[in-house]
Structure formats: structure tokens, C-alpha cells
Chains A and B, each alone.
Chain A
């Protein structure tokens, strides 16, 4: 049967918060018996947009990661819940029963993603219920999807086989697969949030004037292996994406036939900008 999944494209999320505010609009001031009790006015981020800045001035990136209930197929919260307070529906949606779950504060800690929020006033653990009350009433997508200006958030109603095909074809990932919770929330371009980049700007003197060097061949090496290669752009900039943070020592080599080969080494912590790299002119005799 068809089940609900959420696909979030991290590269298209720019932190406009529309999905988070739509979620607040839906659950603040409203009770949906069987689905969700009212959300607190402040502090509960059922859809939480996390933000990261990467790099250094003037080469920076900003990445956003919407985090919400993963509606896991092997959900730790379901196991931790007493009295069947959390249940998985046939369509894949995980619902925290707003009556049975009352007082079960331990459920907040049961979620490894931090997606269950404690409602102090109601003494209730709460999470985003995939707008199930709306889907049951005929809505074809969730509110976050309806308001997303870049269509970065898509609610998908398909057979599991079809979903797995999409996972393969679109290169989708889940948050922390090592938790083995089988989330139904998938991410595209997750590297944008978790992986590091390294970049720099290539410059050199042409006719006695310092210029941006376009088209220089820049290669990235690690442990004696070339791991990537790029050409500098019209501003002399190059950037290598998708590197693991704190992945140790790297070497960069810059080749441009007008200049001496340049090589430099660095340790990669978080994303970094190596600054302007001045290439030395070749001796006149060889020019």
C-alpha cells in the first residue's frame, strides 16, 4: 500500500522558516483529537530549521537542515512508549496519542533525533504528526510542502518499492542511518550541511599587474592520492566540496602554464578558505 514519506532538498532550503511557521499555525490554538494536542506558543520547534555557516570571509556558505519527526519504521519511541502511547499507522505515519502519552516524559529522550518536544503545560511529549488529520481529510500534501517557496520539501505518497527507487535514483539519504531507525524523512544534498569545503583564490602578475587567474588547474591530494580537480573561475576562485570535516592533511597543487607550479598543504578542520594564493611568474628565459 502507499505510504507517506518526506523528501527535503537541503540545497534548496534557505531558512525562510515557512514550513516551521505553517506548523505553528496548524497546531497552535487547535486540538486535533487522536492526532495532536495543542502546541505551546513558544519553544516547541516541531519542524526545526538548523543553520550552519561554513567557510571564512569572503568564501562562505550557509546551509540549513530542517529536522522533524522522522516517522521511523523502526521507531525507538514506539518501543519506549507505555500503554501503546505511540503507534505506527498503516500509511507509515507515527502518531503520539495525546491522551495515552500524558506524563511520559522519557519519550523525549527516546528519540535520537531530538524531534520529540515536551509540552510542560500539558505534561505531554509531542512531535510533528505529518499533518495526518489533514491528509485523512483529503489534503494531498503537508502544510510545509504547500508553503515551501523552492519546493525543497515534498510529501510523497507512494509504495515503499517506489520510494526506494527514488532513494537510489535521486541519491537520497536519511539522518544518522547508523541509528537503524528506518526514517521516512529523506534528504537530498545532505552533504551541503554535514560536509566541508575548501577553497581559495588564485592570483598572479600579468604584465606587472596582479590579476585573478582563471582556468588554473587546481588539484586536491590526500595521502599521495589526487582526490579531486577543478579549474579556477573568472575570479580565480576554486572550491572543493564534499570533504569530511577534520579529515586531516591535504595538499593543493595549482598549475597554470604562465606561472610556476604552486603547492600548499593544510589540515582540514571545518570548511575553510585558503585566501589568495599568489602564483610566481616563470623566469623570463622560460616564459
Chain B
């Protein structure tokens, strides 16, 4: 026996002892050993070293040499390699390379292989301790959510309370900003969004899916009754039966129909965690089985992505500019902040809880003026005060152009910057002044469009033009949400970009932001964001190739199918068999021009739908389409993997119950998204990284997504490939090791405490202010790895991503693509909304403009419904006659004209559908505008699904499916005409809807809703 053989065989002997020792020391491990009876063999290919392990009723027998009939066999090409792969300090790169080169193989049933390898690894993790014992007998764990991190206090396996993190003396302290003779330091704690603070109630919600279910009249071997989706009830089945059906359907669809027959889709936001996130576990599985990819549109960026990007680049950020150190610059230099379609106090910067709220309180201390431009007197305006302008929805562009008119005619702009750092200004200027079309875009011109008096626009333009002003556009300050999601969203974002360029973007005190992004935290500490792909191995569709693929070597995954469907056209793809769209591509400005079509040549039509989550009906547009698409024979099979029984989960044939993030292991960072929202942590007052503890056992029979996918993968022979033989906690540790954390904290300490605060940079080493380099004509100096080196025109790091490297008032990319596109001409022009006050015939029938922003108290569909206390917040839902109705806000006089009083039930409707809401009468909206948040979790049709009135509150049934513009794929949810009438109690849509009206309230009382199994 040579040295390598000796080492390997000693190692294998040691493993058998380690198994026994762990079973002796840890009861949980001993219980695990009792789960399976089988024999595993580990050997070299040539059998020179071999050991077998027999598991029988919890006992282990092990011997060296070859077993005559092992159930599974793990083999390595040589004893030398084996001696390196089976040690705790294994090089992951060598392990992955050995697998890729077929030098390290596993044979036998996948579920046994994965169980065996995970068990071997568990000999190390079985004794790991985590959580902090508290004086009251609870144990304090840590988790992270879409709305901020939480301490989770658990007693007897049950969550007692969840609180934000209060840091202790061992944690790094906060930063201080000195501005105008004062010092500002944020509190030494994290904040929490209300929709996450209610987490305990949604975790223990009675709407949780606790076991796998099958639709009662679905028989995969017989009658499938697809038309009964959404109507017939469910029966409980075992995990084995559920997984067998789903795996069987995957195989059947692939072999019967061919490439592309399975479509897979997920919501925009999963429960938090880099490994459990959809971009990780789900992507890996869907790539592994091959699927028709659903292409998500940049739905919170639309106007910035399809529009503003052409003026200045920033394709990686989907058309939003860099955001470094703008908090300090604003506080030191700015005199005015213009909040335009911006309600950060309601939308919390998506993932950053209330971190920005305290900073905006400092505006008062600093004496910085604010104004708000939004059709709704939003919550940020209500808190901060300041002048409010309420343009009619989707007319903001006209207001912006009139501001430019004042600046041009009165000389109130940075002429030097425009001359040196931009191109095409003269062309746009001539349009503004009316030299091109004979119509000067004066404040008087915009008045009938926007409803804003000309004098007010002039006053704002003069104030803005004579003061150093930050433009806080959208919820992030540099875009995101609001007016960019309308038929004029592209124009709006473009016109704002042009306004800021006129004021010299990057000049001290002149930039994008409203203190939401740009705190002085340390961004030079590596920890991946969720968009970096986690364990997905997906190097084509995530941010993984930038750093994580090198730092955490893993098996790559590729989707063999190139067939794609735009998310907004899934119903057309299913029902009509055709769809087309333009992609979300952050690589270059031109990435968005490449049109794709469904079906892809030579690919199969979609026959199976694997849906992850249940949010489509609440969050997409004209969503009765989705309901109809589920109820068609065109789909053989629908599986839904969800946490709660709500929304479209009720339209599946088989439901797989997933658990929440507090019931599984994960690792993540507060607001750490990576990718398209790189350095989103600068929204935070403290950069914090978490080991997300498994705080409680999964409820009922629910399972972590990772385990569900792994079990399915095992049935397809992909279990070892999917899991690399590892459990979630093993992956957590791998990700920990891939980051900069080990340089600062040991695994043991991190696992126990559950978080690490990254110290802020010393004052002198803070990152440069965004765009200052551009303003001053220097090379780019902010820590942003974009544009790609090849996308600079002249010299690396010199200039913007545009063809000229300058800000382009006249966009060369649009001139190259289609200079004659009336919806997106090379210079930004005003074109009234294709659904709005200019569409006279429609407006006569539906005279009210509906805006449907992101909700304040729920996060997309998270925390809405589910019997959570959020429903008791009267701004969110109102309890009337025993049902919690969604809220519709309308001007008091509009309501009075319709005979509507406070909290009356009203029907809001148009040709696309009708929703019953509770009316809230308000002065916070101008006349003619109604407001209801999007994203209800509940869809409750009062008759035939898809063809009747909904009382669940899915406002998006009413919003148009039409894309913002013909040559883009984007939502225009905020361009929507409706009528509101008192509700007569009927479940029928208006006859005008032209839909088959088949049910009434009476039918509803006979319960058309699918019921959960009892």
C-alpha cells in the first residue's frame, strides 16, 4: 500500500468512527442514522482502497474492502484524490473539478447517495451550537427578511417574539456625518418594515400550506379536469405521492412533447436568504430540468431602463445612476430636494426597512427645503411637509418639459456643464422652445395637461434653477417605482434625466437621491447579494460570474432550452400560442433591443407550468388573463410550490408546501441584493450580514424549497448534481467561507451570534461622491464594476456608457435602433398616455384615472391576507360585514357625486374586470384620480374565476396588459381608466365587459372557491 492509499484508508476508517461518535454524542444524529437501511461503498476506481458502511436500524457496521452488493457506491479515480476530497479542509475547487472530470462519481439511487453524503458532513455539524440564551428562558435567533433583519425569540420550539436588532458593545459602531456645523449619527440598531414585523402572524397563519395536496378531480393517469382549476377542492396526499406525480409529469412532458414543454416561473420576491432565494435554489432546479424561461420585465424600473438609460448608460443598474456618498453630499451641500413620484417612507427602499427615515428627519435640522410631485399626497409628503404638486397621472413629462423651458428662457442651468459634458442639447432645446413643432413647452402649455397652474411650475423651476438641488426620483431617489410604470414612464424618466443634466449632475449638492441611498458604509468587504446566484451555478442569468463563481466554486448549470416568454404575456403564450418581447439585459445599452418570440423555432408548446409562489393575480396586469390561462386544457399539468394557500396556488393540480425562511438555514445580508441593485446596502445605517438560523422546525410537513427541489431532482437522477451531496447548512458554511467574513469572525462565533456588523469606513476613506468624477471630467472613481471595459468609447474609465461618453440629450443608441419610433424618439418628447384623458371615448365610460403604487403595509403579496394583523390597519383593509376589503382612495367630491360615503363598498371596474373595495374618501388626491395599492394576496371571485367580480382586492385585474411602448416590454399599470360605483352586491361583470357572465352572488354562496383539505 502506498502513502496515498494508506492515508485514504485511514481516513475512511476515521469516518466510520466519526459516524459512531456523532451518534453517541448527539441524539438528533442518532435519529437520522435510523432513517435508512442500506449499504454504502466508498472506493477507488480500481478497488485498491475500499470501505463499506452498512446502516441497519440506526446501527453502523463498517469494514474495509469491497462489499459484494452495496446499494450505493462513491468512487474516486485515485487514493490520493480520495485522501484530499474526504477531509474537512477540502478544496471546493478540486472537489468540483474532480466531479466535472468524472474522477469523483456516485452510483446508486440518488436519494441514498445524497442522504449518505449529507450524513457524513453532518458528523461535523451535529455539535454546532447556535443562538443566544436569554434571561427569560427564550433563545434568541437571527433571521432576515425582505423588510429587515429580526431577532427571533423562541421557547419550546415556538416563536415568542420578533424584534429588530439592537447592537451590543462588541458590534461596530455607526458612522457620523458632519454637516453645516452639526453632527449626525444614526441609532445603533436596525429598523424593521411593518410587513416584516408582523412575521410571527404570517408564519403561524391558518393559511399556511402544511402538507402536499392534489386537486380532488385531478388524476394524472385519467381525467385531469383542467377546467375545474380554481374551483374544485383539494385532498391531502403524501410527499412521496406528490413528488412522484410532479417528477412523473416532468419526465412525461419532456419525452412526450420535447424541448420547452415545461414553463417555470417565480415571483419577484421570495423569502430572504442567498441560498433559499429563487435566484439560487429554484434557478438551479429549473436549469437542471430544462425549461421555457419566463423573462421578467424590469417592472420597477421601466422608464429608467427603456428610457433614461439611453441618455447616460447604467445598464447594469437598469438605467439608474450610481449612488455613492450622496447622503453626505446632500446634507452638506443641497438646498432643496425634489421628491418626484417618490414615497420612500411607504416603500422602504424595497429591502431597507425604515433605515432612511431617520436621515430624512435630519432635513429639518439642516433647514433643507423639500417639494413633492405625486398625484397622491403620499406618506413621505405627509411626514416631511413641503410644497405638493399633484399632476394628473402620466402627465409629469409635460411638467418636466415646462421646467426645462423656464430654465432655457431664463438661463437657469449649468451652461458650462451642458457644453462640455453633453451632446445634442441644441436639438432638444429647439423642441422645448417650439422651433421643431411650433409649440413652445411653456408652463402655460402644460397647465391643461397636468392640472398644475403655470405660475406654480414657474415658481418651482426658478427655485430649483437657483438652488443646489437633489432630485429624488422614485422610491430609491435615482428611479424605481411610481411614474416610470405608466404609458408615459419612458418619457418621464428621460425628461428627469435631462433636467438633472441641465443642472450639472455630479456638481456638489446636485445629484439623484433623497437620502435613501448613499450612506458611508464600507463596500469594500465582500459578501455576495442574492442576485449573485447563491448555489444556482447559473452563470448566464445571475451575477455569479463576477465574483461568486470564483469564490465559491460550484457545478455550473445551463438551461438547454432557449425558449422564452415575457412574464406579462404568459397567458397569451398558453392560450394563443404566441408571444413576443424585449429582454431585460444589464450588460449593455443595446441588450434591450433584441426581440424574442414564442414559440422558439423547433421548440414544443408549453404543456406544464411549474409555479413558485402565488402572486401573479395580484401583481401582473389585466390578471383575469392569468386566471383564464390556468383553466385551459392547453396546460396538462400545473404544480404550485407555495408557503400560503392563496392567489394562484388555488389553481394548481398539485401543491407543494414550502416553509418560510425562519424554518430553514440560510445566509444573507441586510438589503444585500447585488446585481442590478449593486451596493443597495448604502441604504442602511449599518452594514449587517446574517447567518439566518433555523429558528423553528418547519410547520406541518412543509419543507425548505431546497429540500423540495432536491427530492424532485433525486427522482430524476439529478439529486447529487443538484445538491453536490450537501445540506443547506453545508452550503451556508461554503458561502460564509467564500466571503470576507472569515477574516473578521470565526465560523463558530458567527454561527452562534448570527450576525456581523461591518465597520464603517473611517471618515477620510469614504467613497467619492457619485458622478463627481463625471462633472469634473475625471476618470470614473466609484466602486462600481460597470460599464464593461469594452463599453467605454475612448479610454477605460473615461466617460459614460453612451456612444459619445457624454450625457446625450439626443440618444445615439435610439438613433441607431429606430430614429423614427414615435414612442421613443432620439430626444424626449411629450406624447399623451394611450390610456388617459386624451382617449376620449374610453374616458367617457371610465372617467377616473387609477394609480396603483406598491403597497405600504404589505410587500407585494407578502403579509397581506394570511389572517395577519396587517389586515386590521384601516389604511390597508377595512373590515365590513365580516370581510376585510381592499381600500380604494378617492376624492371626496368624486365620491359625493357617486353617492359614495366613507367605507362604503364600491365596485371599481372597466372592460377588464371589477373589484369590490372599501371606499376611503380623501383630499389627498385631486379630482378624477383614484388610488388603490397593487399586490393583493387574495383573489376571491364572486362567480366563475376570470369572469366575475373579485372581492379579494386584486386591482391589477383592471390595469392594461399593453406594453408601455411597442418596442419594449414593460408594465404601464399606472395608465388605467376606471369607473367607481356603489357595489350592488352582484358578482357579475358589466355587460360591457363582453365576457361570459356565468355566475352571480348566489353561485358564490354555493362556494366556487377551492377548499383546503381537512
Interface residues of A (CB under 8 A from B): 12, 14-18, 20-22, 24-26, 28-30, 41-43, 45, 51, 53, 55-62, 137-138, 143, 146-147, 149-151, 203, 209-212, 214, 233-237, 276
Contact = CB atoms under 8 A, between A and B. Distances in A.
Contact of B388 (A21, A58, A143): A58
Given A149-B353, A151-B358, A233-B387, 16 more contacts: A12-B383, A15-B379, A15-B875, A17-B873, A21-B870, A25-B197, A25-B198, A25-B201, A29-B160, A30-B161, A56-B923, A57-B926, A62-B379, A203-B455, A210-B455, A212-B459
A53 B460 contact: no
11 contacts: A12-B361, A17-B194, A22-B197, A25-B197, A25-B200, A29-B158, A41-B201, A58-B388, A61-B385, A212-B458, A236-B459
B925 interface: yes
B383 A150 contact: yes
Interface string B762-795: 0000000000000000000000000000000000
B382 A61 contact: yes
B163 A24 contact: no
Contacts of B869: 20-21, 24, 28, 41-42
Contact of A62 (B353, B382, B927): B382
B233 to A, nearest CB: 25
Contacts of A214: 459
B602 interface: no
A12 B200 CA distance: 27
A200 to B, nearest CB: 14
Nearest to A143: B163
Contacts of B387: 233, 235, 237
Contacts of A233: 387
A165 B931 CA distance: 45
B923 A146 contact: no
A45 B456 contact: no
A42 B883 CA distance: 12
B960 interface: no
In the A-B complex, list the 7 residue pairs whose CB atoms are closest, starting with the nearest. Answer: A149-B354, A14-B383, A62-B382, A149-B357, A212-B459, A24-B869, A21-B197
Contacts of A235: 387, 456, 459-460
B37 interface: no
Contacts of A14: 345, 379, 382-383
A149 B455 contact: no
Contacts of B365: none
A146 B166 contact: yes
For A21, A30, A53, A209, which residue has the most chain B Cβ atoms within 10 angstroms?
Answer: A21
A53 B875 CA distance: 13
A57 B891 contact: yes
B177 interface: no
A211 B163 contact: no
B218 to A, nearest CB: 33
Nearest to B385: A61
Contact of A17 (B187, B857, B922): B857
Contact of B198 (A24, A210, A212): A24
Interface of B: 135-136, 158-164, 166, 187, 189, 191-192, 194, 197-201, 204, 345, 353-354, 357-358, 361, 377, 379, 382-383, 385, 387-390, 453-456, 458-460, 462-463, 857, 867, 869-875, 879, 891, 922-927
Nearest to B198: A21
A63 to B, nearest CB: 9
Contacts of A25: 161-162, 197-201
A147 B463 contact: no
A185 to B, nearest CB: 21
A271 to B, nearest CB: 10
B197 A60 contact: no
A151 B925 CA distance: 29
B27 to A, nearest CB: 28
A40 B455 CA distance: 54
A276 B459 CA distance: 14
A196 B318 CA distance: 45
B923 A18 contact: no
Contacts of B377: 58, 60, 62
A25 B925 CA distance: 33
A133 B157 CA distance: 21
A40 B462 CA distance: 55
A276 B452 CA distance: 12
A212 B388 CA distance: 14
Contacts of A56: 923
Contacts of A18: 192, 194, 197, 354
A62 B920 CA distance: 14
B458 A211 contact: yes
A209 B200 CA distance: 60
A53 B164 contact: no
Contacts of B879: 42-43
A90 B461 CA distance: 60
Contacts of B923: 53, 55-57, 60
**Chain A CB within 10 Å — which of B162, B166, B923 has the most?**
B923
A234 B389 CA distance: 14
B638 to A, nearest CB: 32
- Pick from A143, A146, A203 the residue with the most CB of B within 10 Å: A146
Given A28-B200, A149-B357, A234 B463 contact: yes
Nearest to B389: A58
A60 B162 contact: no
A212 B456 contact: yes
A149 B191 contact: yes
A115 to B, nearest CB: 17
Nearest to B155: A30
B534 to A, nearest CB: 29
B867 A41 contact: yes
Contacts of B922: 53
A151 B459 contact: no
A215 to B, nearest CB: 12
B194 A16 contact: yes
Nearest to B201: A28
A20 B871 CA distance: 12
A56 B460 CA distance: 21
Contacts of A147: 163-164, 191-192, 197
A21 B872 CA distance: 10
B981 to A, nearest CB: 22
A41 B870 CA distance: 11
A146 B379 contact: no
Contact of B453 (A20, A28, A30, A276): A276
Contacts of B353: 149
A92 B357 CA distance: 32
Contacts of B199: 25
A136 to B, nearest CB: 10
Contacts of A26: 161
Contacts of A143: 161, 163
Contacts of B891: 57
Nearest to A136: B136
Contacts of A12: 361, 383
Contacts of B870: 21
A210 B454 contact: yes
A95 B526 CA distance: 50
A128 B187 CA distance: 26
Contacts of B873: 17, 20
A29 B459 contact: no
Contacts of B166: 146
A150 B164 contact: no
A56 B923 CA distance: 6
A41 B197 CA distance: 15
Nearest to B856: A16
Contacts of A212: 455-456, 458-459
A180 B135 CA distance: 39
A234 B164 contact: no
B875 A211 contact: no
B390 A58 contact: yes
A49 to B, nearest CB: 8
B139 to A, nearest CB: 15
**Which of B383, B454, B891 has most chain A Cβ within 10 Å?**
B383
